[in-house]
Chains A and B, each alone.
Chain A
Amino acid sequence: MASNNISNLNRRRILQGIAATGAVGLAGCLNGENGEADVDVDDALERNEVDIDAIQEGGRLEFALPRDSIDDYDWADSSAAEDSVVFDTVYDGLTTADSTGETHLWMAEEYEPAEANDVSVEDYAEYMVEMEPESVEDGVPSFDLDENNLVIMQHPDDEPEEGEPMRVLTRDEAADAVEDGTFGIRLEGRLHEGIEFHNGEEVTAENVVRSYDRFVGSVNEGQWFDSFLHATAPDGDDGYTFELYAQEADAAAYLELPPYIFPSEHFDVPAGDLDPRDDGDMVPVGTGPYEIAEFEEGSRLLLERTDNYWVEEVGLENIPWYDGPEDFPERPAIEEINIRFVDDSAGRSNALEDGDVDIAYELPSEARNNFHSSESFAVSANPAFGFKFMQFPVEDTDEGGAFAQREVRQAVSALIPRQQIVDLVEQGWGDPARAPIPEPASGMGTAMDYEDLESQDWAYNVEPDPEEAEALLEEAGLERPVEVTVETNSDDEERIDKMELVVDQLNESGLFDAELETPAALGDWTAELYEDGARHDSAERNAAAVIGLAGTPDPHGFHQVLHHPRMHNGCCNFFFPEGALPEEFIEQMESCRFGVDVAEDPDTRRQAYDEFWPEVADLSANVIVDYSLNTGTVSNDVVGFNVHPQTQAILRYALYNPADQQITYLDR
């Protein structure tokens, strides 16, 4: 493995030498006619600090959103990431995250895991009731229930059949179970007093409890009620204490359970109906620093700072963890935000250049680099949760079946030119994957320092290692070259560019005869992969699938979705139904998230992960290619902008977050 001390210039030389097929050679042509020096990403990674005394109040910020309209104004029902960018400014949550991904209390003055029990579905059986499904489609039953009620779990022994009653637990019964002490984990919390919604209503425990009603019947219902069991307000609806219950002893419940907080006037609005374009009264109302002032079908959205932002009411000194300067503002500086919808990345870049917008993200890399080196603009970067991974079909088929052996999978992984991919396709704006989780998610995923995690000997290599690959293939005893296919979706050019580099490298080594295929656009292709027999077909063709995903601040978001049989035929486990991967592996993975010991003690959890990661690397059923860097580009009118690991927080975080003393203001 090449040392990380090789300078960028030398690295490029080596890469050009490997990848070049013609005699273009190493001298002169490297930097192209433009003679650009290599892009230095480091100063983009540095924070832009703000001098509190220099802060200017007011102004209107023009923010470019990479979409042509708000998909769904009802956050409970929206599945578009860009919608969340806007709603994060309108709704504040119980917790907030800083730029390293660490979670802090926010609207909750107190919030922590209290008690956990090792329970499973069978323990709830005594509370279940018998119900006949209204209809059964594809083995999935649907029931006729009251509004706001839904089935949380089914008895595993009962097969859904039309006309046959089966045992289920709905929200009503869940309350009984909880009262009896049957629950996975209880999280206790208390809201600050005096927090007001934009409409003046005070936030009480009732808002926390009843907000879950809004998710019933929404597109995101499955996601929310996957682990949620019940919520109560021990001091009554007007009190401030709340208790959240999860179905299992789930360490991730802490981050995943808290809902978006809605005001009482919206409790009973059906999911999807909170859209002011269809009904002018249905304007989203939250506790965030901005409210929706003007909106128009697709073309116009203006946000205005609220007058009664709760941090001002409560006071920074009452936020338990805050230890920054006393005179740090208690609300954002910018008065208005005008959301400009610019779907096309080149268009966003041009708009930024022309001065039509002040902040833009997801720009073409070339343009972004030019902004970075320009005096009039600044780029901020931060390691993020996005990643690209390669998944192998592990079925041992008669034809093909090469990936049934882990040595072969490891060999492919050893040849992936991770550094070249980041350098050539992303021009340095990315991170070759060494560890199984990115830095922002490492808070709860390892007890080590992140650099230590990256230098473990089982870590992924960033430079291709043909010798190791050859040794591995020797062990596997396969005839060389092994014919393999790398598949990815056809509608993402950058991803395809990266895979072309991978294929080139595999062929270069002489160990593989690789080709790249792009079967279809993402939605169509994954639909094909989920079909019966697709997995078998991929194994026969030795076809590995490459996809990108955005993980979560909680480490489980990186491996559970890829490996767990429960996610088979859902995103993003294509090849591993029950039994495909070793039982011990699955159990070990689950024990990192579920269980009283990890749920109640984060340190135990971190250690559990540290024992788990070497297994993930060794199994190599999924290997990570690279991690994304979130970047945001701003004009010089914008001071103090820093980008957040979570794309959906990119606007909200920059505007105001005392955790890092983050505040942005306009200097015009």
Chain B
Amino acid sequence: MSTERGRIRITGFETDHLEEREPDTAREEEYVEPQSMWRRIANRLVRDRLALIGITVVVVMAVTAFLARPITVSGVTVQPFSLAPYDPTATAVGGRHEAPSLSHYMGTDRLGRDLFSRVMVGGRYSISIGLVVTALASTFGVIYGSVSGYFGGWVDSVLMRFLDLVFAFPALVLALILVALFGGGFWPLVGAFVLVGWASYARIIRGEILKVKQNEYVLAAKALGARDQSVLFRHIIPNAIAPVIVQATLSVGTVVIGVAALGFLGIGFDPGTPEWGTILDGERDTLATGDGGSWYWWATVFPGLMIFLFVMSMNMIGDVINDALDTQVDDIGGGG
């Protein structure tokens, strides 16, 4: 390039030496490449002891629940294994209220049914409802909240008003009313808890979206002519999804407890269904020992313990995910 044309000559702007310079080590911390959210979660989960325990427990419970008794779909045996030692609905396989022994690990209930088998199969109800409800509620809630947050204006106001309405009902009371009025069973329970649960997700995602909406990359995308839908789904939601994931893992436990609570109240599943809460309801009388009677502790301790273990494990996982997703926030706050 000629720089001698009778004009002002500029020197000193060679950049080579800048580009070849060694990385700056004056900063206190190593520069860490920001990881993708999922990577971070996976890393934390693997390293945290409590989370590992939680994952193990959940997986073991889910697998044993699945393999407990054969499952047939339209006559085709999808799952042939039978881990449960007895048929959970068979009465009088042992005496009434036998203590835990080698032949009945968790003892028997008031009709002589094996409690261990019942508890194992019971996992199916709780785990499946927990997962299905969370999946459905979060999906619906995210869509609702996204629409509300993204479009703003009167759309937002109206949708938020309705959300306030749902929040004015305490969750369990509303689920209780729905199930008591319209009957129990798997899908009615799912429906009731979804109707009660979607609101939290909507509110969370809306909050996040309000924050993220103003970010530059969104404005840029819109300036480039991307449609609302694509901006929403491809840019905004993925960046706002973190708290929703945390909420989802934590709320699986809430749903499981809620279903068990309704079962305990005698609403939800028919008596005799080996769902954990329903078993507790049926065995509640064991608390009355009469004079000189013995307390058949296994009948109430084991089903409740199962609920506790499962929920605790889910919460431990959720806790760690929560920490994982907060880490980035912490770093920015601390380093800047």
Contact = CB atoms under 8 A, between A and B. Distances in A.
Interface in B263-320: 266, 270-272, 282, 284-294
Interface residues of B, number: 36
Contacts of B285: 345-346, 364-367
Contacts of B92: 15-16, 19-20, 424
B170 to A, nearest CB: 22
A320 to B, nearest CB: 43
B272 A500 contact: yes
Contacts of A22: 86, 90, 93
Contact of B271 (A347, A490, A501): A490
A9 B86 CA distance: 25
Contacts of B97: 32, 366
Given A350-B287, A366-B286, A367-B285, A374 B292 contact: yes
B111 interface: yes
A366 B270 contact: no
Contacts of A524: 183
Interface in A307-332: none
A33 interface: yes
A490 B263 CA distance: 12
A29 B98 contact: yes
A641 to B, nearest CB: 16
Given A19-B92, A20-B92, A374 B99 contact: no
Contacts of A371: 290-291
Contact of B93 (A20, A368, A377): A20
A374 B95 contact: no
A368 B112 CA distance: 19
Interface in A342-397: 345-350, 353, 363-371, 373-374, 376-377
Contact of A370 (B93, B98, B103, B289): B289
B94 interface: yes
Contacts of B87: 21
B93 A24 contact: yes
A500 B291 contact: no
A24 B288 CA distance: 28
Contacts of B101: 33
Nearest to A373: B292
A359 to B, nearest CB: 14
Interface string B68-104: 0000000000000000001101111111111101010
A148 B262 CA distance: 46
Interface string A20-43: 111010000111111000000000
A518 interface: yes
Contacts of A30: 95
B200 to A, nearest CB: 30
28 contacts: A19-B91, A20-B92, A21-B87, A29-B94, A30-B95, A33-B98, A33-B101, A345-B288, A346-B284, A349-B289, A350-B288, A364-B288, A366-B97, A366-B110, A366-B289, A366-B293, A370-B290, A370-B293, A371-B291, A377-B290, A424-B91, A490-B184, A490-B270, A493-B272, A496-B272, A497-B272, A518-B271, A518-B272
Interface of A: 15-16, 19-22, 24, 29-34, 345-350, 353, 363-371, 373-374, 376-377, 424-425, 490-491, 493, 496-497, 500-501, 504, 516, 518, 520, 524
Interface of B: 86-87, 89-99, 101, 103, 110-112, 183-184, 266, 270-272, 282, 284-294
Given A425-B111, A501-B91, 19 more contacts: A21-B87, A22-B90, A22-B93, A30-B95, A31-B95, A33-B99, A346-B285, A349-B290, A350-B287, A353-B288, A367-B290, A370-B293, A377-B290, A424-B91, A491-B266, A493-B272, A493-B282, A504-B91, A524-B183
